Amino acid sequence: MVRHLVAPTIHTDYGDIDVSATSGSVIKELTSRFGYTFRENATSENDPRYFLGKSGRAGKPIQLILMRSQADALKFIHNAQCGVDRIVHSNHQCGCDPQGEESATLNAIKPKRARLIPGGRDQSLFHPEQNLIEQKHQSKLSGHLDIHR
């Protein structure tokens, strides 16, 4: 969804909405305002908690990650597989991974050019099946975006 906010004429549609939240009140608000129902899709005794939300009133599913803190949410986002995914929209502002270049991230979003980030990443907050998720994501991206290393 952030790609749509950055370049709405290029990214006219999106398949789902990814939300990182630090309070369960976000789930309650989405349920009461938009009719979402959430089910937890990864159980762990550790944070974060992963939920999938669907609504008969709102057209897009929501993948929601309930984090302990804002720092954890940023850590999660800033360790994404592709540079174009290392962007956040919060409090009416966009922000990019401080290790990357904001203009490079924004410029990659506009022409739909995703770059896999080389090197190690901290995946301690990721879904237990993150490797499978990333393989599926990379396969999906290869059909819609140019993948560059």
User: How many whole angstroms separate alpha carbon 38 and alpha carbon 64?
Assistant: 9
Residue 114 confidence (pLDDT): 72
Residue 51 confidence (pLDDT): 92
* Phi and psi angles of residue 53, each rounded to the nearest 5 degrees, phi first: -115, 135
Residue 79: strand, helix, or coil: coil
Closest residue by Cα to residue 33 from 50, 16, 53: 53
Which position has the token pair 């999906």? Answer: 140
User: How many whole angstroms separate alpha carbon 79 and alpha carbon 36?
Assistant: 28
User: How many whole angstroms separate alpha carbon 112 and alpha carbon 115?
Assistant: 10
Cis peptide before 48 (omega within 30 of 0): yes
User: How many whole angstroms separate alpha carbon 29 and alpha carbon 49?
Assistant: 17
Per-residue confidence in pLDDT tens, the chain, 149 aa: 677 777 767 777 777 778 889 999 999 999 999 999 999 986 666 668 889 999 988 888 998 989 888 888 888 888 887 777 777 877 777 777 777 667 777 777 777 677 777 777 777 777 766 667 777 766 766 654 444 44
Residue 32 confidence (pLDDT): 95
pTM above 0.75, yes or no: no
The H-or-E segment that residue 54 falls in is strand 49-55
Asked whether 76 and 65 are in contact (CB, 8 A), the reply is yes
In single-letter form, the type of residue at position 125 comes to: L
